[in-house]
Structures are given as C-alpha cells and as structure tokens.
Structure 1
C-alpha cells in the first residue's frame, strides 16, 4: 500500500500530461493543466484505491469467516466424540481443546480488528490473520488425529 499511492500519483500525472492527439484540419488547441486539475485527478485515484482496498478487505474477511464457520461445525462434531473419552485420554483431549479454543479466540480477535483497520494496517493484519488461521488449522488437525487414535 505504501507503494500504491506514489504509483497512482505518478500514473495520474502521466495521464494528465499525455494527451491523445488526433489529426485535424484546425490548429491544435492546447489545454492548460492546472495544479487543481492534478489535485483532482490524484484525489480521485486515491479514493478509487481506498475503495478497492476496502472491497478486497471485506471479501477476504468474508472468506475467512466462512472457513471458520465450516471449521466450527467440525470442531463441534469432534467435541461430541471427545466427550466420550475417559481417564488419561480425556485429560490429553481437554488440553488439545484448550489450545484449539485459544487459537480460535485469537483468530476471532484478528477478524474483529479487520472491521476497524485502515488500508495501511490491512496488509499487516492480513498476514496476522493468515498466521492465526494456520495455527488454528494445525491445532484442529492435531486434535482430530488424537481423537481418531483414542476412539
């Protein structure tokens, strides 16, 4: 995002500076470009970039929320199986579930931060969300493997 604004500014200046000239019988009319014209074009480009970023951020959040909802269903099914465990297997299972719940809470916290994040903060937050998702998925896979071995 840090590079996007200068790129958009350069592109806007280039577009404003370049004029598509077509051959005509009359003398060419030169259009003067003012500082206000450039400010307007740059402002529009920045607004477009912000809108695009917001749209992508919302799409990504919806995608992760959908994956989380699907995983939550699997977790509930797995918890039903884990409730039947006894003794040492139950104690290990409870530890796995605590870890899983902590990872799920961490991901939910990151998803909440998306709602209030700026375009600049979005790039870093996306990496955090991906990391939190990977951690949750690994924890789930570990718990699923344990329940398969124990039941």
Structure 2
C-alpha cells in the first residue's frame, strides 16, 4: 500500500501541468510554523515513556487535529474552481487527496494502537505512530507542491 501511495505522488508530480493547476498561494509562514510545531511535537513524543502515555496521547491527538485541519484546507482549496479544471487535473487532484486520506487513516490506526499498547509494546507502537506521522507530513508537503505549486519543505 505504501508503494502505491508513493507512486501516486510520484505520478502526480511528474504529470502536473504547472500552468493551469494552481490556486492562490497560502501563507507559507503559517505552513512553516505549523510544520515546525508538528516536528517539535514528534520529537517530544519520542521521549515519552509508557508512564507518560496519557501525555503522549494528548500530544498525538493535538497533532492529528492540526493535520486534519491542514488536510481540510487543502481539500477546500483543491475544489475551488473545480468546474474550470480539465478532467486530467481533476483526476490527479482526486488521486492525491485520496492518497492523503489513506495515510491519515493509517495514522489513526497507529494512534489507536498507542492507546491500547502495553509497556512491552509501547516503544514499537510509538515508533509506528511517529513513522506514520512522518509519512503523512511528507505527503502533505508533496501534495501542497503538486496541487498548488507551493514549496513547504524549505525552513
């Protein structure tokens, strides 16, 4: 499944028509600040032990909520002017957004595993959540670039 998602993003990147596929740019500063906050949250999550699971879950849930907001904003922007887009661009946008949603679901599954983890599995489950977060975060950056031509990877 992960390979499929990666190939979807690679295909989307390779096929993106840079001329009519853009929406007005979002505030890059806000995106950079949010990304920095998410990274800091994941760094702090790495240090949480099983005895700090409740704190870790709160931090993880806050991060998921922020990612959901970013996904919602991207979906809203992607649908603007939908009727004016070519069928090819619509299809690429749908594929990109669908792949993001699949990765978001994978992150939610990791979160549920964190909630149910035992002390024996905590470190592995926590790592799985962080890995899923990193995959989704990278995909959101790629999607923002693919859909809107915005580079959110620069710090």
TM-score interval (norm. to shorter): 0.5 to 0.7
Give the aligned partner of residue 122 of structure 1.
Answer: 122
Quick one: which of 49, 62, 65 aligns to 1:66?
62
Task: Give the C-alpha shift of residue 53 in structure 1.
Answer: 4.0
Aligned residue pairs, count: 99
Superposed CA deviations along residues 15-42 of structure 1, whole A, max 9, x for unmatched, are xxxxxxxxxxxxxxxxxxxxxxxxxxxx
Give the aligned partner of residue 137 of structure 2.
Answer: 137
Task: Give the C-alpha shift of residue 67 in structure 1.
Answer: 1.1
Runs of 5+ consecutive residues of structure 2 not aligned to the other structure: 1-47, 151-155
Task: Give the C-alpha shift of residue 98 in structure 1.
Answer: 1.2
TM-score normalised by L of structure 2: 0.59
Higher relative contact order structure (alpha carbons within 8 Å, sequence separation ≥ 6): 2
Measure the CA separation in 1 of the matches of 2:62 and 2:141: 18
Task: Give the C-alpha shift of residue 55 in structure 1.
Answer: 3.5
Give the aligned partner of residue 45 of structure 1.
Answer: none
CA contact (8 A) 1:110 1:128 kept: yes
Say which one has the larger Rg: 1
Question: Considering only aligned residues, what root-mean-square deviation do their CA atoms show, in Å?
Answer: 1.8
- List structure 1 segments (4+ residues) > 4 angstroms apart after TM superposition: none
Task: Give the C-alpha shift of residue 116 in structure 1.
Answer: 1.4
Runs of 5+ consecutive residues of structure 1 not aligned to the other structure: 1-51
